[in-house]
Amino acid sequence: MKVSSRGDRWDDEDDVVTRPIIGAAIEVHRHLGPGLLESVYERCLCDELERRGIPFVRQARVPVFYKDRDLDCELFIDILFPGLVVVELKAVEKVLPIHEAQLLTYMKLTGLSRGLLLNFNEILLKDGITRRRL
């Protein structure tokens, strides 16, 4: 059993699920480097995932239920791997607690236990990967 960057348990099954996603993100980062807008990384990562035949949903709508009502809010996840993992992309100087809270909230709303927060504004993308597990 491994521990994620924030102390969550992260096991070999989690690695099997997320390894192809992280590999695609690293490939995008190798070609583009840091310093671009999040939207550029998102589009390029989606293209790379398509090239690799990895199924995903870009800008997946997340239903928001408040007191048993779907409020039809405009809430979207950057990239969703249905039934597997939520991926939130950033291109920021520093990942803040609010960014991690956003990922955790998306995970709770979707009922998914795995999440990745990928900050492309790092010299090496590996330094911008945060793994979360509920």
* Cβ pair 97, 108 in contact under 8 A: no
Task: Encode pLDDT of 99-131 as tens digits.
Answer: 999 999 999 999 999 999 999 999 999 999 999
pTM of the model: 0.89
Q: Position of tokens 């491994």?
A: 2
Cβ-based neighbours of 23, under 8 Å, separated by 6 or more: none
Residue environment code for 2-12, b if the CB has 16+ CB neighbours within 10 A, otherwise e: eebeeebebee
What per-residue confidence (pLDDT) applies to 3? 44
Can you tell me the distance from the alpha carbon of 112 to that of 57, in angstroms, rounded to the nearest whole number?
Answer: 14
Task: Encode pLDDT of 5-63 as tens digits.
Answer: 444 565 777 788 899 999 999 999 999 999 999 999 999 999 999 999 999 999 999 88
Can you tell me the distance from the alpha carbon of 127 to that of 121, in angstroms, rounded to the nearest whole number?
Answer: 9
